[in-house]
Structure 1
Amino acid sequence: MPHHLMNLRNVPDDEADDIRALFEEHDVRYYETPPSRWGISMGGFWVHDDDEAARARALLDDYQARRLAQQRQEYDARCERGETGLWHQFRSRPVTFLAAIIAIAAILSLTLLPYIRL
């Protein structure tokens, strides 16, 4: 019976490439199904064998722990440099930021207008 190892929906390309390379390096016999464009099927990495699934799961858990630590370090470094948050978004793209704020305000006003008139 097939074992689903990982969902590929919203997975960055670099992470999926790393996992493919990891499985190839350790000779894991896997197959991949792509996620659908409309979000109906999730896609993912699969194996058939129970033993292969256990070995692949151990490799995947180790990889994801390392990736989490790496991504956390990169995020903390960006926070220290001041490259996160609303102020950074405003400074990097002020026109886009203001357009988004105006769009949010317009949608909220149109949504709440019938209730305010009561």
Structure 2
Amino acid sequence: MPHHLMNLRHVPDDEAEEIRALFDAHEVAYYETPPSRWGISMGGFWVHDDDEAARARALLDEYQRQRYETQRQAYEEHLARGESGGFWFMLRQRPIRTLAACIAILVIMGLSLLPFIRIG
């Protein structure tokens, strides 16, 4: 019976390539299904054998732990250099774009809630 190892929806290309290379380096007999354009099928990495699934899962868990650590460190470095941040960072860096997005959000919320407000 097939074992689904990882969903590929919203996975960056570099991460998917690294996982393929990891599986190839450790000779994991996997196959891949691509995610659909419209989000109907999730796609992913699969294996058939139970033992192969356990081995692949262990490799994948270790890879994801390492990736988390490197991505977290890169994010903290960006924060320390002032290259990323939250709402106030975006407002300082791109004020027109940020305000336009806020106005668009308010308009959409207003249009969505208007029928319910008029009922009462």
After TM superposition, give the deviation of residue 92 of structure 1 in Å. Answer: 2.8
In 1: Cα distance, 2:57 partner to 2:113 partner:
49
- Please say if 1:89 is aligned against 2:90: yes
- Partner residue in 2 for 1:26: 26
Q: For this pair of structures, how many residues does the alignment match?
A: 118
- Please say if 1:11 is aligned against 2:7: no
Q: Relative to structure 2, which stretch is displaced further, 105-114 or 74-83?
A: 105-114
Q: What stretches of structure 2 of length at least 5 have no aligned partner?
A: none
- Per-residue CA deviation, residues 52-90 of structure 1 (Å, 9 max, x unaligned), is 111111110100000011111112222223321112212
- Partner residue in 1 for 2:46: 46
TM-score norm. by structure 1 comes to: 0.89
Q: Which amino acid aligns with 1:107?
A: I
Identity of aligned residues (%): 67
Q: Relative to structure 2, which stretch is displaced further, 93-102 or 27-36?
A: 93-102
Q: Relative to structure 2, which stretch is displaced further, 91-100 or 29-38?
A: 91-100
Q: Relative to structure 2, which stretch is displaced further, 81-90 or 41-50?
A: 81-90
In 2: Cα distance, 1:16 partner to 1:48 partner:
19
TM-score norm. by structure 2 comes to: 0.88
